Amino acid sequence: MEQLTLTKNAEEVMLFDVHKIRKDFPILSRMVNDKPLIYFDNGATTQKPKQVIDAIVKYYTLQNANIHRGVHRMSQDATDEYENARITVQKHIGAKYEHEIIFTSGTTDSINLLASAFGKKYVNAGDEIVVSEMEHHSNILPWQQLCEEKNAVLKVIPITDSGELRMDEYKKLLTAKTKLVAITHVSNTLGTVNPVKEMIAIAHSKNIPVFVDGAQAIPHMKVDVQDLDADFYCFSGHKVYAPTGVGILYGKEEWLKKLPNYQVGGGTIKTVSFNKSEYAESPLRFEAGTPNIEGGIGLAVALDYINAIGLEKIAAYEQELLRYATEKLSAIDNLRIIGTAKEKASVISFLVEGIHQLDIGVLLDAQGVAVRTGHHCTQPLMAHYQIPGTVRASFSFYNTREEIDIFSNAIVKSINRINKK
Neighbours of 54 (CB within 10 A): 14
Residue 94 domain flag? yes
Note whether 87 and 119 are same-domain residues: yes
Beta strands (DSSP E) in 187-317 are 210-213, 232-236, 247-251, 269-271, 278-279
Q: What's the chain's average pLDDT?
A: 95
Q: Model confidence over 208-264: pLDDT tens digits?
A: 999 999 999 999 999 999 999 999 999 999 999 999 999 999 999 999 999 999 999
Roughly what angle, to the nearest 10 degrees, separates helices 401-420 and 311-330? Answer: 30
For residue 240, the Cα-to-chain-centroid distance in whole angstroms is: 8
pLDDT of residue 12: 58
Eight-state DSSP code of residue 41: B
Note whether 234 and 358 are same-domain residues: no
Note whether 336 and 283 are same-domain residues: no
Looking up residue 96, the CATH number of its domain turns out to be 3.40.640.10
**Which residue intervals of 43-165 are DSSP H helices?**
50-58, 73-93, 107-122, 141-150
Note whether 271 and 380 are same-domain residues: no
> What is the average per-residue pLDDT within 318-333?
98
Residue 420 domain flag? no
Last residue of a domain, one of 252, 281, 308: 308
Choose among 302, 199, 170: nearest CA to 247: 302
Count of the separate structural domains present in the chain: 2
- Asked whether 97 and 253 are in contact (CB, 8 A), the reply is yes
- Asked whether 153 and 404 are in contact (CB, 8 A), the reply is no
Asked if residue 142 has a cis previous peptide bond (ω within 30° of 0), the answer is no
Last residue of a domain, one of 287, 308, 329: 308
Percentage of the chain exceeding pLDDT 90: 95
- Asked whether 190 and 197 are in contact (CB, 8 A), the reply is no
State if pTM tops 0.85.
yes
Looking up residue 347, the CATH number of its domain turns out to be 3.90.1150.10
**Host H or E run for residue 130:** strand 128-132
Long-range pairs for 302-307: beta carbons < 8 A, 24 or more residues apart = 302/48, 302/49, 302/51, 302/52, 302/237, 302/240, 302/241, 302/242, 303/88, 303/89, 303/92, 303/240, 303/242, 304/51, 304/88, 305/24, 305/49, 305/51, 305/52, 305/241, 306/219, 306/240, 306/241, 307/92
Last residue of a domain, one of 308, 333, 359: 308
Give me the DSSP letters along 276-297.
Answer: --EEPPTTGGG--SS--HHHHH
For residues 40 and 42, give the distance between their C-alpha atoms in angstroms, rounded to a whole number.
6
pLDDT of residue 10: 57
Residue 332 domain flag? yes
Q: Model confidence over 360-372: pLDDT tens digits?
A: 999 999 999 999 9
Q: Which is catalytic among the residues 153, 377, 412, 418?
A: 377
pLDDT at 90 > cutoff 90: yes
Note whether 110 and 8 are same-domain residues: no
Eight-state DSSP code of residue 123: -
Residue 421 domain flag? no
Residue 162 domain flag? yes
Q: Model confidence over 105-155: pLDDT tens digits?
A: 999 999 999 999 999 999 999 999 999 999 999 999 999 999 999 999 999
- Asked whether 207 and 336 are in contact (CB, 8 A), the reply is no
Is 147 labeled as catalytic in the residue annotation? no
Looking at the DSSP assignment, which residues form a beta bridge with residue 351? 336
Eight-state DSSP code of residue 72: S
The boundaries of the domain holding residue 112 are 53-308
Q: Which residues contact 216 (CB under 8 A, 6 or more apart)?
A: 43, 184, 185, 186, 187, 188, 191, 239, 345, 347
For residues 193 and 218, give the distance between their C-alpha atoms in angstroms, rounded to a whole number.
12
For residues 401 and 407, give the distance between their C-alpha atoms in angstroms, rounded to a whole number.
10
Residue 364 domain flag? yes
Choose among 279, 277, 276, 286: nearest CA to 255: 286
pLDDT of residue 350: 98
